[in-house]
């Protein structure tokens, strides 16, 4: 009886050791599940931009040297095109029905007036179905230390459809930098997720920023080469 009990005890210990080893060898099912947003390929991409060059009627005497951003492609249009090329997204230009002057001082005066009056310039068209896009790249120039009013009008028109969307900003500026443009955009689309990873460049550097802005798109994880 004593020998039988010892043999039973040895069998129990052996099974216990096997069970422990098997448990230790099982990989964790929760390890590395939190992948950074920047490294995730989401759904369709839309590149929306507002450019002075797309919204001005050129006068015969316009100075292409002193006003290069009004000559197509404009600063922001060029940046948007490079974002589109890198991401493979669709491209949409925000355009007003009443074009701006091609003279910078006159354009600035009108932009300042629109800001004071909180105007919402009428737009030529809207995106046919913005709800189909998961990722929005939004480009604009810094006008009077903020966002051009047509951009705010566009965002407000699409506020509901932009809820929950991931939005990335890129812009060109003189000396004003971001100013209060981000807060204005956040107010226009409060339910969207606006990244604090923002691309910016000086107006005079826009034409030479292809590599920089395409690297930015790639680092965010939205390069076609990553698909």
Dihedral sign from CA coordinates of 176, 177, 182, 185: positive
**Structure confidence by residue, pLDDT tens digits, 5-27:** 445 444 444 444 444 444 333 33
pTM above 0.75, yes or no: yes
DSSP assignment, residue 59? P
Question: Comparing C-alpha atoms, which of 53, 49, 56 is closest to residue 82?
Answer: 49
Is 119 a residue whose pLDDT tops 70? yes
Is 141 a residue whose pLDDT tops 80? yes
What CATH number should be reported for the domain whose range is 42-226?
A: 3.40.50.360
State the average pLDDT over residues 188-217: 95
How far apart are the C-alpha atoms of 107 and 114, rounded to whole Å? 11
Q: Are strands 166-173 and 90-93 parallel, antiparallel or unpaired?
A: unpaired
How far apart are the C-alpha atoms of 188 and 190, rounded to whole Å? 6
pLDDT of residue 224: 86
pLDDT over 70 percentage in the chain: 76
Is 120 a residue whose pLDDT tops 50? yes
**SS3 assignment, position 172:** strand
Parse the chain into domains and list their residue ranges: 42-226
**47 with 33: CB under 8 angstroms?**
no
């Amino acid at each position: 009886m004593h020998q039988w009990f010892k043999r039973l005890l040895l069998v129990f210990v052996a099974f216990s050791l096997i069970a422990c080893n098997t448990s230790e060898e099982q990989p964790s099912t929760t390890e590395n599940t939190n992948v950074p947003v920047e490294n995730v390929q989401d759904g369709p991409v839309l590149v929306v931009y507002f450019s002075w060059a797309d919204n001005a009627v050129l006068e015969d005497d316009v100075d292409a040297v002193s006003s290069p951003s009004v000559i197509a492609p404009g600063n922001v249009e060029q940046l948007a095109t490079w974002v589109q090329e890198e991401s493979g997204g669709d491209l949409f230009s925000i355009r007003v029905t009443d074009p701006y002057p091609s003279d910078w001082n006159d354009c600035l005066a009108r932009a300042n007036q629109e800001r004071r009056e909180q105007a919402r310039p009428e737009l030529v068209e809207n995106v046919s179905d913005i709800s189909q896009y998961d990722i929005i790249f939004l480009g604009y120039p810094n006008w009077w230390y903020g966002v051009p009013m047509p951009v705010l009008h566009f965002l407000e028109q699409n506020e509901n459809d932009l809820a929950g969307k991931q939005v990335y900003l890129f812009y060109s500026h003189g000396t004003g930098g971001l100013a209060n443009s981000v807060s204005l955009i956040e107010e226009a689309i409060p339910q969207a997720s606006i990244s604090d990873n923002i691309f910016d460049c000086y107006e005079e550097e826009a034409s030479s920023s292809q590599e920089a802005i395409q690297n930015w798109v790639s680092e965010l994880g939205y390069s076609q080469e990553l698909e």
